[in-house]
Chain A
Amino acid sequence: MGSILRFRKLCFLEPVKFTSNDEKRKAEEEKQLSPSPKVDQKTSQPAAATTTALLKDKTKKKPLKEWRCIDSCCWTIGYLCTTWWLLLFVYHCLPANLAGLKAPEPPGSRLRRDGLTALHPVVLVPGIVTGGLELWEGRPCSEGLFRRRLWGGGSFTEIFKRPMCWLEHLSLDNETGLDPPGIRVRAVPGLVAADYFAPGYFVWAILIENLARIGYEGKNMYMAAYDWRLSFQNTETRDQSLSRLKSKIELMYITNGYKKVVVVPHSMGVIYFLHFMKWVETPPPMGGGGGSNWCSKHIKAIMNIGPAFLGVPKAVGNMLSAESKDVAFIRAMAPGLLDSEILGLQTLEHVMRVSRTWDSTISLLPKGGETIWGNLDWSPEEDHVCESAKKFDAKGNNTDGRRDFQVLESTNYGRIISFGKKSSELLSSELPTLGSQEQASLQNGNSQVSNVSCGKVWTEYDEVSRECIERIAENKVYTVKTLLDLFRSIAPKTMKRAEAHFSHGIAGNLDDPKYNHYKYWSNPLETKLPDAPEMEIYCLYGVGIPTERSYVYKVSPSSRCRSIPIQIDSSADGSQNGCLKGGVYFVDGDESVPVLSAGFMCAKGWRGKNRFNPSGIATYVREYKHKAPANFLEGRGLESGGHVDIMGNVALIEDVLRVAAGGSGVELGGDRIYSDIMKMSEKIKLRL
C-alpha cells in the first residue's frame, strides 16, 4: 500500500512537470509545422468558419496542433509510466544483495556467530509520540476509520483529508484528561505499535530485527504499548496498561524458564517505567500489589535509551507557544504541516489546544527546579562551549583565553525563558523582578479577550488578557522554578489537571508518607528506586548534537486571531560562543534531551548507595557520539546519536543484545563517557 501511495504521489506531480515540457514541444512543433499550415490557412480560412460543425472549438487554432496538444500530454504520461514500470520491474528482478549495495553486517548476525543466544525476555517501552493510536469509536465524521491508525504507522493521510475531524479525535477531554464522550482512541497493541512510526521511518524495527537474529521472537519480546497521551496513572485507570504489563512480565518470566526480563524503555517510556516500578510494588487500591520484591524478582536490567529523567526544556517551548522545535518529531514528519494553512491559519493554535489536553506532555517539564537546572546566574552546563566556537578555537589555536572566560559568564542556561536577547545576557542584579504579590495579581487580572471572530479555536490564552501578557514579558527572565508559576497563571486548567498526576520538585524527606501518592512516582527525585540490589540501570544516550536548553522569547505582533501572544524570537542569533541560534540556546545532547537530564541520575543521583537508591543498584552511563551517516545508503546512520535515530546505532544495539543474552554492565565495559556529564553533575548540589 505504501508503495502505491508513493507511486501515486509521484504521478500526481507529473502533470505539473509536463506542462513545461509540453510547451517546449509545442513550440518546436510549431516551428516544424509552420510552413505548410500557413499556406493552407490563408486559402481556407474564410470557408472554415462555415464548416465547423464537426470541429467546434478547433477553429481558433490549427487543428493538427490541437490534436497533438492533448495527445502528447498523454503520450508523455504513458511514456514515463512505462519507463517507471520497467525500472520497477528491473528493480524487482535484481538480486536482493547486489555486490555494490551490500549493507554492513548487522550486529545481530555478528553476535550470533560469537555464540550469543536469546536468554532474558525483553520488554520494549516506547516513548511519547512514537506509539500508534487507533480509533475504536468516533464521531460521524470519522466513518470508515474503525480500527485504522490515526497516529503513527500509516501515512497520516487523514490529517490532510479531514484535519478538523482528526484533531477532534486526538484531543482529550479538557477537564478529566480522558476520552471525550463518544470517542475512543486506543493504543495499538503488539510489536507493530511502534516498530515503524511511518512507512520507512523505523523506531524499534532495527532493534527488533537484531534481537530476532539471536533468537528472539514474539514469545520473549513484548512491546508495552500504552496511550502516550494520558497521564501514567490514567493508562491504568482506563486501559489497565500497567496491569497488563505486569501480567506480561510475569508470564514471560515463567515461560522462559524463570529468566528475569531486560527492560528497554525509550524517551518518555523511561519515566513511564519508573512509574510502573513504584506502581507494581504498591498495595492494590492505588498500585499493582506485586509485593516489595517484585522488581528484584522479575527485572534483570533497565536499559534506558535517551532517557528524559529530569524532563526536557523542549516541553517548555511546547507548552508556552507550541513551538518546540520537535517535542517529538511532528515537524520532522510533516514539515509543512505547522507552517501551511491547512487548518486555516491557526495551525499552531490547534496544535497547542490539542497537545495541552495531553497530560503526558506535562511529565516532560524540567524537574528538580533550580537545584538541577540552574538559577538566574548559574547553571551546571555554564562552561559548555558550543561546537562552532570550538572549531574556531581549533583553527586559530592561540585565540584568547579571555574570550573563553567571557563565554563562561555569558551563557545563562538557567534562565530557561528570557524575553529579549539582552535580558538573557544581563547580570541578575540588573534584571527587573516581579514581586510575588504582582504575580498573584497576574492570576486575578484575567479578563476575557473578545474572540468571537476567531472561530472555534480555543486555547487558554484567550482567557489571559493582553496586559497580563505584557506584564509577563516585563518580568524578562524565568528559571525552571518561576516557570512553573508562569504556567499556572497562563494555563490554569492544564496545570490543575496535570499537577494531580505529576510533580516536579525534589523530595526533602523521601520517607514522608505523602510520597506514596502516584503523582510522585515518575519523578526520580521524589521516589526511591525499588529494593533490588542485583538489578542494573543503564543510561544510554547520544551526545554531540546541539540540543535546545533555553529560549529567547518575544511578544508576538498583536492580531485578534493570533491567540498565542508570545513566540520564540528567531531573530536572536549568535552569542559569543555560538550557542544561541534562532532564539534557542543549545547545549550538548541528543537533539531532544540534554545530557544533564539523560545522564545525571545514572552519573550521580543513583550512583552508589544513597537516599534515592537505598539498595545500591548498579548504574552505568553509556554515551554514543553522534556521527552523521557517511553516505546516502546508510539511511539514518549506523552511528547516529539522534534521539530516535539512536535506535539504529550499531554500538547501542550491540550493548542491548549483550545484556539481553546475559551480559552484565561490567562485561560491557562499564561507563563510556564523551560529554562533560561528570563535571556537570559535580556542580549540582543535591543532597544524596
Chain B
Amino acid sequence: MTALRRRKGKKPQNSEPQSEENKEKKSNETEECSNTENLNLNPGCSSSSSTSSSSSRRRKWSCVDSCCWFIGCICSLWWFMLFLYNAMPASFPQYVTEAITGPLPDPPGVKLAKEGLQAKHPVVFVPGIVTGGLELWEGHSCAEGLFRKRLWGGTFGEVYKRPLCWVEHMSLDNETGLDPPGIKIRPVSGLVAADYFAPGYFVWAVLIANLARIGYEDKNMYMAAYDWRISFQNTEVRDQTLSRIKSNIELMVATSGGKKVVVVPHSMGVLYFLHFMKWVEAPAPMGGGGGPNWCAEHIKAVMNIGGPFLGVPKAVSGLFSAEAKDIAIARAVAPGVLDMDVFGFFQTLQHVMRMTRSWDSTMSMIPKGGDTIWGGLDWSPEEGHACSSKKKKNGQTSGHNKTGDLANSVRIKYGRLLSFGKDVADLHSSEIEMVDFRGAIKGNNLANITCRDVWTEYHDMGIGGVKAVADYKVYTANSILDLLHFVAPKMMKRGDEHFSYGIADDLDDKKYDEYKYWSNPLETKLPNAPEMEIFSMYGVGIPTERAYIYKFSPATECYIPFQIDTSAEGGEGGPCLKGGVYSVDGDETVPVLSAGYMCAKGWRGKTRFNPSGIRTFIKEYRHAPPATLLEGRGTQSGAHVDIMGNFALIEDIIRVAAGATGEEIGGDQVYSDILKWSDRIKLKL
C-alpha cells in the first residue's frame, strides 16, 4: 500500500517537467518542419502543420491527456521494472556486491557450520523496549478493521491514517498502568514478534538466520515476546508472560535432552530477564515457584546485548521533556512524526509525552545507583573521557596537548545529569546557588483550556513550579528522582510500585523480596547457579548521551515548559558537548558505564551481589560504520540495535549456543575505559 501511495505522490511532480519537455520536443519538431517546409518534403511536418491549423483542439488534447500519457508511461515502466525485479534470480544482488567489493566474508553461521558446529543448547531471545510488535485484540470503534493487525512494528501505516486513534490505543491507563477499558493491545508472539521492526529494518532476523544455519529451528529457538509498555510484574499479572517463558524454557530443556538454555536478552530485555530470574525462584504467590535451583538447572548462559543494567540517561530526558534523541529507534524509523504536526497544532511532542508517560517500562531505565554510580556535582567516573574528535587530534599530535586534555577532563562534569544553562554546567559546585524546589508550591494551573485534550502533568504544575525547577539549576542522579517526582507525581507513584533505583545496604533485608527490586542489579542477588555464565556484550566507539543542558521553552500555554538547549555547543574546548548534550563513549543509547559495570566489577568474582560466583565476561565490539552502501547497516556496527547484525557478536553467540564457554570464546574483550571507570566507583561489594 505504501508503495502505491508513494507512486501516486510522485506522479504529479514527475509529469510536470516531462510535459514541458514534451512541449519543447514539439516545438523542436515544428522548427524542423519550418526548415524543411520550404522544400515541402517531410510528411511529418506537413501533418503537424496541418494539425496546427486546428491547434485549439490539439492544445486541449495535450493539456489533460499528456498528463495521463505520462502517468501511463511511468506506470508501464514501473511494472516493467517490477517484473524484471521479480524475474531476477534471488542471488543477483550478491553477485553485484561481490563484483564491486570483492567476495564478501561468509556469514558467521555458514562459516561455523563449515567448522562443524551444530545446534546444541536451545536459545531464548528476550527483545527490548520498542522493538517488539504489538497487535490489537479489542479496540474502540475508531480502530475498526484492525483486529489482530499490528499497531506497533510493521509499516506503522495507522500512525499516518488515524493518528489520534493510534495514540489513544497505544496509551495505557494513567492510574493502573494497564489497559484502558475497552482496549486490548497484546504483544505479537513467536519469532515474528521482533525479527524485523519495520520492513527491511532487522532486529533479530540476522541472528535467527545465522542460528538456523547450524541447525536451529522453531523448536529450539524461542522469542520471549512481552508487552514492553507495561511494568515487568504486570506482564505476569495481565498476560502471564513470565509463566509462559518459564514453561517454554522447561519444555525446551526437556525436549532437547536436558540441555540448558542460552538466553540472549537485548536492551531492556536484560532488565526483564533479571526480573524473570528472581521471579522464577521466588515462592508462588508473587513469584513462579520454581525453587532455588531453577536457574542453575535451566540456564547455561545469559548473553546480554547492549544491556542498560544501570539505566540510561536518555530515559531521563525522555520522561522530562519527551526529547530523547531516540529512546530506542522510534525517531529513526519515523523521523518526520515528531516534528510534523500530524496531530494538529504542533502538539506532537505533548502527545508523545502523554503516551510514553503512561508506559511504566520507561521508568525501568531511569539511572540507578544514584550519585555513587553516576557521579555527584563535582565528580563522575567517566571524567577523564576524551571525546572522539579530540582523540583523533591526539593521535596526530601525540602528547602535545596533554594539558588541554586534562583541562577538558576537569571541565566536563558528567555527574550533573541536567543543568539549566551551559555556564551552570561548568561552574564549580560551591559557586552554584541552588534553590530547593522540593517544597515549592506548584502555583495555580496554567490556563489550559485551549490545549484541547492534550494532557501532560505539566499542566498541573503551574508557573511557580516550573520556575522552582529551573532555579535548582543542577541535578545529579539522586536529585533527578526527586525532580521526576515533582514534575510527574502520578507517573512516579505508579512507577515506585514497580521499580526501585537505589543501592541495597543489606541484601538479606526482607524488603528485598518485593518484586519492585528485582530488575535493579544493585538491589538483588544473582541466583545461586555457579555454573552459569553472564556475558555483557555491547558496542563502543559511538558518542552516547550522558548529560543534558536545559532551558525554558518560550512560554506558550501548550508547550512542555523545558527543552534541551540545542544552542549549547562545546566548541573547541569541549567536543563532548553538542547541541546541549554531553556525550560519552557507548553504543549510541547506553553508556559504557551502564552496560559494562556490573560484569566488569559489580558481579566479578564472589561479591554480595553475586554470592555463588557466577563468571562474568565483557565483550566489547568497536563500532565501524558500514564501508559501502551495499552493506546496509554494517557487519561491524556497534550501535545499540545495529549490533544485532555484527558478525563478531553473532559468532560469539553461536559458539556459546553450540556449547562453548566464556573462556573458549576468548574471555574479556575490552576497548573502552570501563575497567578504569569501574575502579573509581566506590561501591561496597
Q: Does B138 contact A (CB under 8 A)?
A: yes
Question: Shortest Cβ distance from B35 into chain A, in angstroms?
Answer: 11
Check if A11 sits within 8 Å of B75, measured CB to CB: yes
Check if B186 sits within 8 Å of A217, measured CB to CB: yes
Check if A189 sits within 8 Å of B69, measured CB to CB: no
Check if A63 sits within 8 Å of B243, measured CB to CB: no
Check if A48 sits within 8 Å of B41, measured CB to CB: yes
Residue in B8, B91, B218 with the greatest tally of chain A CB atoms within 10 Å: B218
Check if A43 sits within 8 Å of B40, measured CB to CB: yes
Q: Does B667 contact A (CB under 8 A)?
A: no
- Which residues from B are CB-within-8-Å of A40? 43, 46-47, 50
Number of B interface residues in the complex (CB < 8 A): 63
Chain A, range 410-431, C-beta contacts under 8 Å to B: none
- Which residues from A are CB-within-8-Å of B68? 74-75, 78-79, 82
Which of B36, B41, B43, B219 is the one whose CB lies under 8 Å from A239?
Answer: B219
Q: Does A496 contact B (CB under 8 A)?
A: no
Check if B67 sits within 8 Å of A255, measured CB to CB: no
Check if B247 sits within 8 Å of A250, measured CB to CB: yes
Q: Mark A63-102, 1 if CB is under 8 A from B, else 0.
A: 1100000010111111101100100100000001100000
Question: Shortest Cβ distance from B605 into chain A, in angstroms?
Answer: 38
Q: Does B42 contact A (CB under 8 A)?
A: yes
The number of A-B residue pairs with CB atoms under 8 Å apart is 165
Q: Does B51 contact A (CB under 8 A)?
A: yes
Stretch at the interface among B124-132, B248-256, B258-266, B670-678: B248-256
Which of B48, B144, B218 is the one whose CB lies under 8 Å from A64?
Answer: B48
Number of A interface residues in the complex (CB < 8 A): 70
Check if B189 sits within 8 Å of A78, measured CB to CB: no
Q: Does B239 contact A (CB under 8 A)?
A: yes
A240 to B251, CA, bound (A): 10
Q: Mark B1-20, 1 if CB is under 8 A from A, else 0.
A: 10110001000000000000
- Which residues from A are CB-within-8-Å of B212? 136-137, 146-147
Q: Does A247 contact B (CB under 8 A)?
A: yes
Q: Does B44 contact A (CB under 8 A)?
A: yes
Q: Does A559 contact B (CB under 8 A)?
A: no
Q: Does B184 contact A (CB under 8 A)?
A: yes
- Which residues from A are CB-within-8-Å of B67? 78
Q: Does B513 contact A (CB under 8 A)?
A: no
A97 to B141, CA, bound (A): 10
Which of A44, A74, A82 is the one whose CB lies under 8 Å from B43?
Answer: A44
A244 to B217, CA, bound (A): 14
Stretch at the interface among A2-10, A356-364, A461-469: A2-10
Given the known A-B contacts A37-B47, A96-B145, are A44 and B42 also in contact in the complex, defined by CB atoms under 8 Å?
yes
Q: Does B683 contact A (CB under 8 A)?
A: no
Residue in B3, B75, B184, B254 with the greatest tally of chain A CB atoms within 10 Å: B75
A51 to B250, CA, bound (A): 86
Check if B44 sits within 8 Å of A146, measured CB to CB: no
Given the known A-B contacts A40-B50, A247-B251, are A190 and B190 also in contact in the complex, defined by CB atoms under 8 Å?
yes
CB nearest to B53 among chain A residues:
A36
Given the known A-B contacts A78-B70, A78-B75, A212-B147, are A251 and B244 also in contact in the complex, defined by CB atoms under 8 Å?
yes
- Which residues from B are CB-within-8-Å of A43? 40
- Which residues from B are CB-within-8-Å of A41? 43
A502 to B160, CA, bound (A): 55
Given the known A-B contacts A136-B212, A184-B217, are A77 and B42 also in contact in the complex, defined by CB atoms under 8 Å?
no
Given the known A-B contacts A78-B67, A244-B251, are A147 and B79 also in contact in the complex, defined by CB atoms under 8 Å?
no
Q: Does B72 contact A (CB under 8 A)?
A: yes
Which of B70, B73, B189, B254 is the one whose CB lies under 8 Å from A218?
Answer: B189
Check if B192 sits within 8 Å of A192, measured CB to CB: yes
Q: Does A219 contact B (CB under 8 A)?
A: yes
CB nearest to B51 among chain A residues:
A64
Given the known A-B contacts A4-B3, A143-B90, are A77 and B76 also in contact in the complex, defined by CB atoms under 8 Å?
yes
- Which residues from A are CB-within-8-Å of B65? 75
Check if B255 sits within 8 Å of A48, measured CB to CB: no
Chain A, range 135-155, C-beta contacts under 8 Å to B: 136-137, 143-147
Q: Does B492 contact A (CB under 8 A)?
A: no
Q: Does A243 contact B (CB under 8 A)?
A: yes
CB nearest to A135 among chain B residues:
B212
Check if A77 sits within 8 Å of B47, measured CB to CB: no
Chain B, range 135-194, C-beta contacts under 8 Å to A: 137-138, 144-145, 147-148, 184, 186-187, 189-192
- Which residues from B are CB-within-8-Å of A405? none
- Which residues from B are CB-within-8-Å of A191? 148
Given the known A-B contacts A40-B47, A186-B218, are A144 and B4 also in contact in the complex, defined by CB atoms under 8 Å?
no
Question: Shortest Cβ distance from B251 into chain A, in angstroms?
Answer: 4
Chain B, range 67-98, C-beta contacts under 8 Å to A: 67-73, 75-76, 79, 82, 86, 90-91
- Which residues from B are CB-within-8-Å of A186? 217-219
A137 to B39, CA, bound (A): 73
A463 to B505, CA, bound (A): 81
A37 to B195, CA, bound (A): 65
- Which residues from A are CB-within-8-Å of B47? 36-37, 40, 62-64
Check if B144 sits within 8 Å of A97, measured CB to CB: yes
Q: Does B401 contact A (CB under 8 A)?
A: no
Chain A, range 183-223, C-beta contacts under 8 Å to B: 184, 186-187, 189-192, 195, 208-209, 212-213, 217-219
- Which residues from B are CB-within-8-Å of A64? 44, 47-48, 51
Q: Does A394 contact B (CB under 8 A)?
A: no
Question: Shortest Cβ distance from A423 into chain B, in angstroms?
Answer: 50
CB nearest to B44 among chain A residues:
A63
A54 to B208, CA, bound (A): 59
Question: Shortest Cβ distance from A34 into chain B, in angstroms?
Answer: 12
Given the known A-B contacts A250-B247, A255-B244, are A78 and B71 also in contact in the complex, defined by CB atoms under 8 Å?
yes
CB nearest to B220 among chain A residues:
A240
Check if B218 sits within 8 Å of A36, measured CB to CB: no
A55 to B147, CA, bound (A): 59
Which of A11, A51, A75, A219 is the one whose CB lies under 8 Å from B41?
Answer: A51
Residue in B187, B213, B219 with the greatest tally of chain A CB atoms within 10 Å: B219
- Which residues from A are CB-within-8-Å of B72? 73-79, 81
A325 to B79, CA, bound (A): 37
A71 to B1, CA, bound (A): 28
Q: Does B329 contact A (CB under 8 A)?
A: no
A643 to B40, CA, bound (A): 77
Given the known A-B contacts A189-B190, A217-B184, are A74 and B219 also in contact in the complex, defined by CB atoms under 8 Å?
no
A37 to B147, CA, bound (A): 63
Q: Does A12 contact B (CB under 8 A)?
A: yes
CB nearest to B238 among chain A residues:
A219
- Which residues from B are CB-within-8-Å of A146? 209, 212
A251 to B247, CA, bound (A): 7
Q: Does B240 contact A (CB under 8 A)?
A: yes
Check if B189 sits within 8 Å of A190, measured CB to CB: yes
CB nearest to B48 among chain A residues:
A64
Question: Shortest Cβ distance from B431 into chain A, in angstroms?
Answer: 57
- Which residues from B are CB-within-8-Å of A453? none
Q: Does A333 contact B (CB under 8 A)?
A: no
Question: Shortest Cβ distance from A499 into chain B, in angstroms?
Answer: 27
Q: Mark A166-188, 1 if CB is under 8 A from B, else 0.
A: 00000000000000000010110
Q: Does A672 contact B (CB under 8 A)?
A: no
Q: Does A58 contact B (CB under 8 A)?
A: yes
Q: Mark B327-347, 1 if CB is under 8 A from A, else 0.
A: 000000000000000000000
Question: What are 14 A-B pairs with beta-carbon distances under 8 A?
Answer: A44-B40, A74-B68, A75-B69, A77-B71, A77-B76, A78-B67, A78-B70, A78-B75, A85-B4, A146-B212, A190-B190, A190-B192, A209-B148, A212-B138
Known: A79-B72, A186-B217, A255-B243. 4 other contacts (CB 8 A): A48-B42, A51-B36, A51-B41, A78-B73
Interface of B with A (CB < 8 Å)?
A: 1, 3-4, 8, 32, 36, 39-44, 46-48, 50-51, 65, 67-73, 75-76, 79, 82, 86, 90-91, 137-138, 144-145, 147-148, 184, 186-187, 189-192, 195, 208-209, 212-213, 217-219, 239-240, 243-244, 247-248, 250-251, 254-255
When A and B form their complex, which 8 residue pairs have the shortest distance between CB atoms, in order from nearest?
A78-B72, A78-B71, A144-B90, A74-B72, A77-B72, A78-B68, A255-B240, A240-B255
